[in-house]
Amino acid sequence: MAAHSLISVQKLPVGIEEAWRFYSRPLNLNRITPPYMKFEVISRHHGEGLYPGQIFEYKLRPFWGIPLYWMTEITHVNASTYFVDEQRKGPYYFWQHQHHFKPIEGGVEMTDIVHYKNPLWIFGELAHLLFVKNKLRQIFEFRFKKNEEIFGEWPGGQPVDIKIH
């Protein structure tokens, strides 16, 4: 079974420095995660800024209030351009999340690219079709709206642009 991909693109009416400052602080994840997930950063020693090898631990409840432990590692960082986090322990067989930032006229274009694979072979694929795909879409739609609250709406508006394959 092939891995799945999610791509989300959003324009923010702020400078690259402001967008990078917010997104390069994983403690801000709580602000852009739906409240029902009860997302909590439980690791304590993060250091300054993002750097390869940095570990973050989380507790969250994405499905039916069941608590999950998730550990991610920052694997790549190019300041103000992109960073990548990968799951080390958690609900997925594989999870890689790329965060890209590109200056554009009037602000910054932020692109999230997530490659993921569910565990349990055919049962994981069934879970993807029944609820994982929709849950990920809801989470990224929530982030899109929270970004507009935090940074402001893009002049002229923009559609929520999330593709899942």
| CATH classification at residue 21 | 3.30.530.20
Q: pTM surpassing 0.85? A: yes
- Into how many domains does the chain fold? 1
Q: Do 118 and 108 meet the contact criterion of CB atoms below 8 Å apart?
A: no
Return the higher-pLDDT residue of 61 and 46: 61
**Residue 109 lies in domain:** 4-164
- Nearest one of 3, 5, 8, 4 to 140, comparing CA atoms: 8
For the stretch 122-138, pLDDT in tens is 888 888 878 889 999 99
Q: Tell me the C-alpha to C-alpha distance, in Å, between residue 36 and each of 33, 58, 60, 119.
A: 9, 15, 9, 24
